[in-house]
């Protein structure tokens, strides 16, 4: 971890609503490194935007301390904090050109005109708007307007940039394109980005680290890969992508691999810490793309294996998604990449076999 750009120490926020106290953000400790692309991810009402607004100074915390670059800024006005914020509504001045919109803050600060021209020109090039300086917002596409708003926020050289669902107004294809562009821009300018989103794909695509929030608290904090592959809670497993959840009781543990009690000829294997012993109840997560689906019984090769009946088949272009029901009654989803064949592997009603490697099972909520 590099030097901390943002630190929250016990920060929380409470509201009074209809005579009751609502905990919008529960006591939170959080550190964002300088130059990091950090995302706050969660459903509506989880507290992610309130957390960002407390960092920006638009909301005062009920308690706790906000630090920027090691300086206590709790209670400091937003315009006196060295951060800028970009919203979903770009809030561009409609009568000003792209150049004038980006230059506005520098002009208010009485920066010399040659310096304004240099900095605005450089920033417009970074956001790929070179040559469009004289266009007004109505002459720009949604993606281009978003770039103007980004350039306007970055041209002042803030210590951190806070982005509150800035791509929400864009169509899917443009939003995916802008995700890559935002990450490129962040790397190029080297400024700390804190990004609020409810879109799991956005967070996984762009972030160095993600804080998954639910009901005002951080459920899990880690890299995109760690959160996706090793969800810490049932909520995270279900919220980040698609996850199959299986319950069972440990039958035995051999060399750190637990076998869950299952039907004859079936097995579910999962790596577990030494704290897990026979008789322990487990809930495990298995991602749909980790499971192989076949019509013929697989060889006994040490993999997890369940039999199931296909309930539904949905074609998604790059993959075909199978919903199946196992012999234990659990409904699982399997993603099969459409690479080897243009035909479905199975149809509704077919009996199939599911296999996956033990390392692709992950026990939820188990401490080592």
Distance CA 2, CA 33 (A): 5
- Of the candidates 268, 226, 212, 225, the one whose C-alpha atom is nearest the C-alpha of residue 245 is 268
Structural domain containing residue 58: 4-238
At 99, which helix (H) or strand (E)?
helix 98-108
Would you say residue 368 lies in a domain?
A: no
Measure CA 294 to chain center: 32
Q: The domain spanning residue 152 has which CATH number?
A: 3.40.50.300
Domain presence at residue 330: yes
Give pTM, 2 decimals.
0.89
Instruction: Tell me the pLDDT of the chain (368 aa) as tens digits.
Output: 457 999 999 999 999 888 889 999 999 999 999 999 999 999 999 999 999 999 999 999 999 999 999 999 999 999 899 999 888 777 899 999 999 999 998 998 899 999 999 999 999 999 889 899 999 999 998 889 988 999 999 998 899 999 998 888 778 888 888 888 889 989 988 999 999 999 999 999 999 999 999 999 999 999 999 999 999 999 999 999 889 999 999 999 999 999 998 766 789 999 999 999 999 999 999 999 999 999 988 877 789 999 999 999 999 888 899 999 998 888 999 999 887 666 778 999 999 999 999 999 999 988 76
Counted domains in the chain: 2
Same domain, 186 and 267: no
Q: Are residues 287 and 158 in the same domain?
A: no
Are 182 and 38 within 8 A, CB to CB? no
Residues 113, 18 share a domain:
yes
Cα separation, 127 vs 148, in Å, equals 8
Give yes or no: residues 278 and 226 share one domain.
no
| 336 part of a folded domain | yes
Cα–Cα nearest to 260, from 323, 306, 295: 306
Tokens, residue 105: 């803050």
Q: Is 199 in the same domain as 273?
A: no
């Amino acid at each position: 971890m590099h030097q901390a750009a943002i630190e929250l120490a016990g920060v929380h926020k409470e509201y009074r609503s209809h005579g009751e106290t609502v905990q919008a953000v529960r006591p939170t400790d959080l550190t964002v490194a300088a130059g990091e692309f950090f995302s706050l991810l969660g459903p509506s009402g989880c507290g992610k935007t309130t957390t960002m607004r407390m960092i920006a100074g638009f909301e005062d915390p009920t308690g706790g301390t906000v630090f920027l670059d090691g300086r206590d800024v709790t209670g400091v006005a937003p315009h006196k904090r060295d951060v800028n914020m970009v919203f979903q509504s770009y809030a561009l001045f409609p009568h000003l050109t792209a150049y004038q919109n980006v230059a506005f803050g520098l002009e208010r600060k009485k920066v010399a005109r040659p310096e304004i021209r240099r900095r605005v020109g450089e920033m417009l090039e970074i956001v790929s708007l070179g040559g469009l300086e004289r266009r007004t917002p109505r002459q720009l596409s949604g993606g281009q307007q978003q770039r103007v708003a980004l350039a306007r926020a970055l041209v002042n050289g803030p210590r951190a940039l806070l982005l509150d669902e800035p791509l929400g107004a864009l169509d899917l294809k443009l939003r995916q394109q802008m995700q890559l562009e935002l990450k490129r821009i962040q790397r190029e300018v080297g400024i700390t980005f804190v990004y609020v989103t409810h879109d799991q794909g956005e967070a996984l695509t762009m972030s160095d680290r993600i804080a998954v929030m639910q009901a005002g608290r951080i459920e899990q904090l880690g890299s995109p890969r760690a959160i996706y592959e090793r969800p810490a809670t049932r909520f995270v497993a279900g919220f980040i992508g698609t996850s199959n959840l299986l319950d069972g009781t440990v039958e035995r543990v051999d060399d750190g691999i637990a076998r869950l009690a299952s039907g004859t000829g079936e097995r579910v294997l999962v790596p577990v810490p030494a704290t897990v012993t026979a008789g322990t109840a487990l809930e495990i997560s298995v991602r749909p793309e980790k499971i192989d689906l076949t019509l013929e019984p697989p060889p006994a090769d040490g993999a997890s294996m369940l039999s199931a009946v296909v309930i539904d088949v949905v074609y998604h272009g790059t993959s075909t998604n199978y919903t199946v029901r196992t012999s234990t009654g659990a409904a699982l989803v399997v993603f099969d990449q459409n690479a080897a064949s243009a035909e479905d592997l199975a149809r509704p009603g077919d009996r199939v076999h599911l296999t996956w490697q033990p390392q692709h099972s992950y026990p939820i909520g188990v401490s080592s």
